[in-house]
Amino acid sequence: MDYKIIDCDQHVIEPPNLWKEYLPERFHDQAPQLVKDEDGGDAWQLGAHVESLGLVAAMHQTPETLKWTGIRYDDMHPGITQPKGRLELMDQDGVSAAVFFPPQRTMIYFMFLEDKQFSLAGMQGYNNFIRDFASFDRSRLGAIWQMPATGIDDAVAELRRARENDAVGVGLATWPSGDFLLSEVDDQFWAVAEEVGLPIHIHVGLTPPQYKTRKVAAKKGGAEQLVLYSTTMSRMPTLFAEFIFNGVFERFPKLAVVGGEVGAGWVPFLKQELDDRYRRNRYWCEVKLSMLPSEYLERNCKVGVVSDQFGVQNCDAVGVDMMMWCSDFPHHITDWPHSRYLINSMAQGIDESKKRKIFCENAGKLYGFMG
């Protein structure tokens, strides 16, 4: 293909029959159930928590009409849940190929279940679904598999299964061991990821330890929601620093880590801080690296950019090779079907070769769409 734009972060909304089709029958009674929300829309019952579809299937909504509730599967374009229709929607937006992240609200539900067999079955069921979705046209559709949080052995096994089933990457919501702190145990996972050549993805951040005990508000919105949405990049600098200063990239130099949907404008400041704090504190902290911290960031890390004019205009300071564009379709921050206008606006005046890297080649090469 003559690839024009490659999207490093789209999502598939779970079709209504997903869990019945992809979970073993013995787990059907425990599976997420399709229910109605207070406005008659469709929602998924995830244990005690109900997740409506409004903000994750928002391609036709405007700021004036946007809300969590009232969206029904019957009103959605088939491309929200099916690959043939998705290619049609991508064509409307001028997107040549796309990579698909797991639905984090559902994956996190499975991740914190006490029943580890069911938890693992949920992850594997989703991964089998997205495998089949992407197999419709592997020249244009790439699957990112969700890694389980049921222990390092399960994570490594699912990572190898991802490679065998043509996944283009894997996603983490906790560290591979399932713990909330990075540890030496995780090296088993990084070693296999480097061996099989699959990039690691962290979508916005890892799930905080308090998730299991926090009270979920019945009604979403208000200032808290805006704070959350305006600071999606805030966890990624810490995670990149964890990889760097704990020597993960020193031990596994070919490991690739992608921060999904986190923007890029903050990256130059992080580079400066990493190098300065390392210079001042490396001896008493007993951290010895063979390169500057910023050099690991540039070599091993990439960031997904949705709408970040500052980051794109300052791409030399960020690192052109670190940046990949994403639409987050069909979530509420997508600019579908006007992504080409957004891209051209962000990239006004920058060199065409740099523009092509950010919006096509970096993702194309990382995910195997391009040589």
Domains and CATH numbers, the chain: 6-16+79-366 (3.20.20.140)
pLDDT at 216: 44
The confidence score (pLDDT) of residue 54 equals 87
What is the Cα–Cα distance from 143 to 201, expressed in whole angstroms?
Answer: 12
Query: Which 3-state string (H, E, C) describes the chain?
Result: CCCCCEEEEEECCCCCCHHHHHCCHHHHHHCCEEEECCCCCEEEEECCEEEECCCCCCCCCCCCCCCCCCCCHHHCCHHHCCHHHHHHHHHHHCCCEEEEECCHHHHHHHHCCCCHHHHHHHHHHHHHHHHHHHCCCCCCEEEEEECCCCCHHHHHHHHHHHHHCCCCEEEECCCCCCCCCCCHHHHHHHHHHHHHCCCEEEECCCCCHHHHCCCCCCCCCHHHHHHHHHCCCCCHHHHHHHHHHCCHHHHCCCCCEEEECCCCCCHHHHHHHHHHHHHHHCCCCCCCCCCCHHHHHHHHEEEEECCCHHHHHCHHHHCHHHEEECCCCCCCCCCCCCHHHHHHHHCCCCCHHHHHHHHHHHHHHHCCCCC
Q: Please report the pLDDT score of residue 208 as a whole number.
A: 60
Instruction: Write out pLDDT tens, residues 194-231.
Output: 999 999 999 988 876 444 444 444 456 788 778 777 88
Q: Give the pTM.
A: 0.94
Per-residue pLDDT of the chain (371 residues; tens, 9 = 90+): 899 999 999 999 999 999 999 999 999 999 999 999 999 999 999 988 899 998 899 888 888 988 889 999 999 999 999 999 999 999 999 999 999 999 988 998 998 888 999 999 999 999 999 999 999 999 999 999 999 999 999 999 999 999 999 999 999 999 999 988 899 999 999 999 999 999 999 998 887 644 444 444 445 678 877 877 788 778 899 999 999 999 999 999 999 999 999 999 999 999 999 999 999 999 999 999 999 999 999 999 999 999 999 999 999 999 999 999 999 999 999 999 999 999 999 999 999 999 999 999 999 999 999 98
pLDDT of residue 214: 43
